[in-house]
Amino acid sequence: MPSDRPLLLIDVDGVLALFNLTADPPPGAWHMIEGFVYYLQTTGAQLLHAAGDRFDLAWCTGWEDRANDHLPRLLGTPGPLPVVHFERNPGRGNAHWKLDAIDAFCGGRPTAWIDDALNDQCTDWAAARNAAGIPTLLVETEPHRGMQQAHLDALIAFADSCDAAG
């Protein structure tokens, strides 16, 4: 039986792995991963567990399968999770590079997407899905803060609205 819960697509860089840090970053720690140094914030990892009570979670990140290789172990995120995989040569010339793979992965399921790098094509994509009656929410993070409580609050409100509509 397919789940009737909405999907939550989770970016990593700018959501859990922060950059452009300020002098007062969210709680987290530096980690060496495959030769690169990352600041992984712990608040977002905890919030994803709460989101997992209402959503089917999936990674939607250039990390692809490496998210499962490292983040549950280092950061205590949920996982392993399903992974959106990307083509090397995205089809639509000026569309956001993740959109074709997201469409293929999500089909017509209600979907929320948390990412630090959403553009006008993403907004258009979400508006078109909502206009077609497929609940869709974009949640944008700041790369130096990543996922915080307010983002989870927005996601829970979206899940509630999906329940009310269903």
Site for Mg ion, rule CB under 5 A = 11, 13-14, 116-117
Minimal distance in Å, beta carbon 98 to Mg ion?
10
Nearer to Mg ion, 11 or 112 (CB): 11
Nearer to Mg ion, 21 or 134 (CB): 21
DSSP secondary structure letters along the chain: ----SPEEEE--BTTTEE-S--SSPPSEEEEEETTEEEEEEHHHHHHHHHHTTTSEEEE-STTTTHHHHHHHHHH--S-S--B----SS-SSTTS-TTHHHHHHHHTTS-EEEEES---HHHHHHHHHHHHTT--EEEEE--TTT-S-HHHHHHHHHHHHHHHHH-
Minimal distance in Å, beta carbon 141 to Mg ion?
8
Q: Which residue is nearest to Mg ion (CB)?
A: 14
Nearer to Mg ion, 102 or 116 (CB): 116
Minimal distance in Å, beta carbon 19 to Mg ion?
9
